[in-house]
Structure 1
Amino acid sequence: MAEKPASPSCFFFAASLVLLTLSSCLASPTPTPPSPSCLSGTLSNILYRNNNASFPTVLENYIRNARWNTTTTPKPLLIITPLQESDVQAAVLCAKRIGLQIRIRSGGHDYEGLSYVSRSQQPYFVLDMSNLRQITVDIGKQVATVQAGATLGELYYNIWKNSKIHGFPAGLCTTLGVGGHISGGGYGAMLRKYGLSVDNVIDAKIVDVKGRILNRKAMGEDLFWAIRGGGGASFGVVLSYTVKLVPVTENVTVFRVERTLEQNATDLAVQWQQVAPTIDDRFFLRLLLLPSNKTVKASIVAFFLGGADEAVSILKKKFPLLGLEKQNCIEMSWIESAIWLNNPDDYKIGVKPEIILNRRLNTAGFLKRKSDYVQVPISKEALEGIAKKIIELGKVALAFNPYGGKMAEIPADATAFPHRAGNLFKIQYSVNWNDSSPAAAENFVNETRSLYSYMTPFVSKNPRSAFLNYRDLDIGINTFGKNSYEEGKVYGAKYFNGNFERLVKIKTAVDPDNFFRNEQSIPILPNNH
């Protein structure tokens, strides 16, 4: 595909933004918007100034963490909601021309709000991709092309509408935006059978820093490698991904089994570590350790790509402490399992698949997340200590997500996502709260950090690895001063391990002035200028 030039509307857009910038944004942290005359024309239906009555709604619709929706949270000057690819080209070129920073948002699930908040004190705008949500499915070729602003629920639904025996390996949360989710890796219940989302991407379209629309052939294999697990927002604006569909059985099996400490939850967790990463790769056995009335509840939330009889037969032999019986299981279609996995507590048998299309706008709660990787089984004694710590803290939960299967077969440098063989499971630290006070936020964030610190002996080392899609500013922030590369290496080595240096070289080649950046983006090589 040839490089596509930017729309002529860019020049009108540039003039508008120049007026905006020169009139106010550099002089005040809360600028006065420009007169309506400079925003008239074809862009008026996709551009929201910060005094527009719709601005708060458009901003808040895709804020998924209420911590970043307070009166003190920095706000963008503008929100631009592209309706076509040329709108994205115009936004990139014009912002670059006048030095206005871009934050790129597809679903808004970045845990630290980096897709819509800039902490740099510089004026910025949000490029909200939520209107770019077209999905085409070709069952004959077993592929789908999905724009970055679509949700996983919309992708799953469109696949289901075309075939009841195809699916796609991606996340459990159906409101995730495709652009951020896939570019960071894409982790879900079929990863042990089919790998991550990025392992099943065969093409992509991106707007680069020159405003060109590039597909895989035009961007080259280095950049295509980088935007599969390295985070797209460091390199440009991902417009769409073309993905391979995978076969699924007409019926799959899900179940949830729970035990408290008094019901031998610790022994269950010990055996889980032996079983979950090594069992038949059609299984995904997620283990949650949840604080519950001064005890800890171990909850195994499971998916099996097959029928209940087979699932029970395998687990009776491989995981006897689970005590699974057929009556614990629910057989359902793959699309129904996507709904169930998104929220087992709210699932109702017979629910219409259309529910998966609900974007749940402006429903954010307060939360903090962190991540770790475990490479050596955690002993029973250590698990008992972890349980005591969870009870002591009272609110923070752990989710153990098993590896093995396909994840152990794919080389660490096959994509930018490095966390493959050698990992038994990934940990997500999770805490949610409702109190909007700063004191509550400080308390719950500190509780999460306390458990993270306690877990240090049991997780990966040199580096202590982290998952990009569980964004965590605690592990490092880039201020983009003279030590930008060194600052970037602190978090970059944790997110990308041995792939970090290649990502830096690619970033330096495709965006040498570091236009596409955020507090945890890939830095350019030192002394590049």
Structure 2
Amino acid sequence: MGKLKAVVVVTMISTALSILWRATLHLEDNESFVRCLLDHSHPSHPISSAIYTPKSSSFSSVLESYIRNLRFNESSTPKPFLILTALHESHIQAAVTCGKSHGVQMKIRSGGHDYEGLSYVSTLPFFLLDMFNLRCIDVDIETETAWVQTGATLGEVFYRIAEKSKTHGFPAGVCPTVGVGGHISGAGYGNMMRKYGVSADNVLDALIIDANGRLLDRQSMGEDLFWAIRGGGGASFAVVLAYKIKLVRVPETVTVFQVDRTLEEDATDIVDQWQHVAYNLPQELFIRLMLDVVVKSSGEKTLRASFVSLFLGDSESLLSIMKERFPKLGLSKSDCIETSWVKSVLFWSNIPLETDIQVLLDRTPQTLDYLKRKSDYVREPIPKAGLESLWKKMMELEKPRMYFNPYGGKMAEIAAEEIPFPHRAGNLWKIQYLANWNEAGIEAANRYIDLTRRLHEFMTPFVSKNPRQAFLNYRDADLGSSSHGKASYSEARLNGMKWFMGNFDRLVQIKTEVDPTNFFSYEQSIPLLPHQVHLDDDM
């Protein structure tokens, strides 16, 4: 027993020394990385004030300030060894140079709405390049364009446009705190997509820092790379610094409404009619269908269908269209609210319309939750019997909600290969599955994630197949991830085909050409062609 105790003690000491040695080595590596950043600092734009390490008093607050999913703000969540809150393009160039020379992973964060935290969490040692300081917006109404840095939020973009024009807008998401960088590089969409397409369809130019640290625009990067960063996910190819967007015309008066109907108010028949008309309505009219379970005054559960709309026109014109094309909803004059386009953003964000539009400059969401999201595409209407079975399943599961976002209009006119985003003609609408909860801990997370997966699984007969399509910006870890090793191409192809379909192979080719060492990599990034992957590529 004495010898055994001695062996145990020696082993414990050996293990402790090993851990101490690795920690010391890691600390030395981190200090070396900081020195590298400082050595590459531009004299006119010192980088020191943009560097935060765990020793910095503000490290935690900087990290947590743009975490929008509380699942990734736990004490157990892996943290970066350094945060760089870039203040100038030279800081990004230094980050790329030092990241490559030190062989460490770089994560790029703009608004923090990454559903799976892939922009600021990793199991590998990593540093975070946070873009939130780079949020300049230069609107030029004369040319109907704007240069927007990727650290800006959609709300800031909408506000700056409205400052200069009542008759211009930009087709993008309805959540004001979403960051421009992730939104546009993953295609982006909003309630004007039936009129003007997705956000990436309305990008004219871009500024990037490539894998060699070069500042490039559309002309110098070339059309292939410019194509890739408009829907293919910019973080696979470069750091996108800014996009030049094309503004679109909107009327001075638009109309919004939200009408709720339960099963007792003929929701099944109304939803069935929505399925057949929503994608065929005039391009100016977008009607989202939201499904959730509510409890009646009697204590019984029922299904609620909510129809939320933006119409680029006045209420009289809208009522005429609805009476002819979607009469079962029974829309009335009292349901309609006429307002400006920028105020309609408040309506869609559940912000009272009387609120000053300066609220769009707030960069923090009204609430923060634990959440899970998934996505699907629907190619033909769901039979009534299928809808009724869906209502039963939703009432059984209770928590997950579903949003149906109709396509058609401009979306059906743009070729699948025009940009990497392929989900155009043939799809009637996109589904987002949503679960939000307020309970901390892994048990609660597992429970709600499982409920969402079960609803997604239930929908299998009613959605796209071979492949079952998914939307890149609705990040979903269930679709798999890549180790970025020798098998990364085969691993990544499984989910890449769901996001990009026939565009996947072109994205891989471009990735291989512009980033042959795979520096811009993360768990669901575009892989290299197989012959480019080496055993030592472990990032």
The TM-score, its normalising length taken from structure 2, stands at: 0.91
Partner of 2:436: 432
Equivalent AA in structure 2 for residue 82 of structure 1: A
User: Which secondary structure does the structure 2 equivalent of 1:277 belong to?
Assistant: helix
C-alpha displacement of 1:203: 0.2
8 A Cα contact 1:24 1:31, kept in partner: no
1:209 to 198, 211, 217: 211
- Which runs of structure 2 are paired with 1:109-508 in the superposition (5 Å)? 109-119=113-123, 122-293=124-295, 294-343=301-350, 347-360=351-364, 364-508=368-512
8 A Cα contact 2:80 2:128, kept in partner: yes
Residues 55 and 23 from structure 1, CA distance in 2 versus in 1: closer, same or farther, beyond 3 angstroms? farther
Which of the two has higher C-alpha Rg? 2
C-alpha displacement of 1:43: 2.4
- Which runs of structure 2 are paired with 1:99-114 in the superposition (5 Å)? 99-114=103-118
8 A Cα contact 2:369 2:436, kept in partner: yes
Quote the sequence identity (%).
56
- Tell me the distance in 1 between the aligned counterparts of 2:354 and 2:432: 31
The TM-score, its normalising length taken from structure 1, stands at: 0.92
C-alpha displacement of 1:364: 2.8
Equivalent AA in structure 2 for residue 333 of structure 1: S
C-alpha displacement of 1:52: 1.4
Q: Deviations over 1:126-178 (max 9, x none)?
A: 00000000000111100001000000000000000011100000001110100
Partner of 1:12: none
8 A Cα contact 1:295 1:391, kept in partner: yes
User: Which secondary structure does the structure 1 equivalent of 2:191 belong to?
Assistant: coil
Equivalent AA in structure 1 for residue 506 of structure 2: R
- Tell me the distance in 2 between the aligned counterparts of 1:64 and 1:106: 11
- Tell me the distance in 2 between the aligned counterparts of 1:318 and 1:404: 15
Partner of 1:80: 84
- Tell me the distance in 2 between the aligned counterparts of 1:142 and 1:274: 35
Q: Deviations over 1:105-131 (max 9, x none)?
A: 000111000110113xx2110000000
Gaps of 5+ in 1: 1-21
Shifted more, 476-485 versus 460-469: the winner is: 476-485
8 A Cα contact 2:480 2:524, kept in partner: yes
User: Which secondary structure does the structure 1 equivalent of 2:245 belong to?
Assistant: strand
Residues 34 and 308 from structure 1, CA distance in 2 versus in 1: closer, same or farther, beyond 3 angstroms? same
Residues 512 and 36 from structure 1, CA distance in 2 versus in 1: closer, same or farther, beyond 3 angstroms? closer
C-alpha displacement of 1:264: 1.1
- Tell me the distance in 2 between the aligned counterparts of 1:157 and 1:474: 36
Q: For the aligned residues, what is the CA RMSD?
A: 1.9
8 A Cα contact 2:109 2:129, kept in partner: yes
User: Which secondary structure does the structure 2 equivalent of 1:504 belong to?
Assistant: helix
User: Which secondary structure does the structure 1 equivalent of 2:227 belong to?
Assistant: helix
8 A Cα contact 1:254 1:302, kept in partner: yes
Residues 425 and 444 from structure 1, CA distance in 2 versus in 1: closer, same or farther, beyond 3 angstroms? same
Q: Deviations over 1:333-361 (max 9, x none)?
A: 01100111122xxx323211101111116
Q: Deviations over 1:205-234 (max 9, x none)?
A: 110000001100000000000000000000
8 A Cα contact 1:205 1:216, kept in partner: yes
- Tell me the distance in 1 between the aligned counterparts of 2:197 and 2:366: 32
- Tell me the distance in 2 between the aligned counterparts of 1:169 and 1:415: 16
8 A Cα contact 2:113 2:178, kept in partner: yes
Q: Deviations over 1:237-268 (max 9, x none)?
A: 00000011000000100000001111111111
- Tell me the distance in 1 between the aligned counterparts of 2:473 and 2:262: 30
- Tell me the distance in 2 between the aligned counterparts of 1:517 and 1:298: 40
8 A Cα contact 1:248 1:334, kept in partner: yes
- Tell me the distance in 2 between the aligned counterparts of 1:465 and 1:219: 30
User: Which secondary structure does the structure 2 equivalent of 1:239 belong to?
Assistant: strand
Partner of 1:98: 102
C-alpha displacement of 1:72: 1.4
- Tell me the distance in 2 between the aligned counterparts of 1:206 and 1:25: 35
Q: Deviations over 1:345-380 (max 9, x none)?
A: xx3232111011111169531000000000011011
Partner of 2:530: 526
- Tell me the distance in 1 between the aligned counterparts of 2:193 and 2:153: 19
Q: Deviations over 1:375-406 (max 9, x none)?
A: 01101110111111111001000000000000
- Tell me the distance in 1 between the aligned counterparts of 2:158 and 2:523: 32
Aligned length: 502
- Tell me the distance in 2 between the aligned counterparts of 1:331 and 1:273: 26
Residues 244 and 35 from structure 1, CA distance in 2 versus in 1: closer, same or farther, beyond 3 angstroms? closer
Residues 410 and 525 from structure 1, CA distance in 2 versus in 1: closer, same or farther, beyond 3 angstroms? same
Equivalent AA in structure 1 for residue 399 of structure 2: K
User: Which secondary structure does the structure 1 equivalent of 2:142 belong to?
Assistant: coil
Equivalent AA in structure 2 for residue 45 of structure 1: S
- Tell me the distance in 2 between the aligned counterparts of 1:24 and 1:124: 16
8 A Cα contact 2:289 2:404, kept in partner: yes
C-alpha displacement of 1:506: 0.3
- Tell me the distance in 2 between the aligned counterparts of 1:146 and 1:253: 28
User: Which secondary structure does the structure 1 equivalent of 2:405 belong to?
Assistant: strand
User: Which secondary structure does the structure 2 equivalent of 1:276 belong to?
Assistant: helix
Q: Deviations over 1:5-39 (max 9, x none)?
A: xxxxxxxxxxxxxxxxx9966856x9997599958
Equivalent AA in structure 1 for residue 117 of structure 2: G
User: Which secondary structure does the structure 1 equivalent of 2:531 belong to?
Assistant: coil
Residues 76 and 263 from structure 1, CA distance in 2 versus in 1: closer, same or farther, beyond 3 angstroms? same
Residues 393 and 26 from structure 1, CA distance in 2 versus in 1: closer, same or farther, beyond 3 angstroms? farther
User: Which secondary structure does the structure 2 equivalent of 1:45 belong to?
Assistant: helix
- Tell me the distance in 1 between the aligned counterparts of 2:136 and 2:456: 40
User: Which secondary structure does the structure 2 equivalent of 1:306 belong to?
Assistant: coil
Task: Indicate whether 1:64 and 2:68 are aligned.
Answer: yes
- Tell me the distance in 2 between the aligned counterparts of 1:26 and 1:523: 33
Equivalent AA in structure 1 for residue 191 of structure 2: A
- Tell me the distance in 2 between the aligned counterparts of 1:498 and 1:37: 42
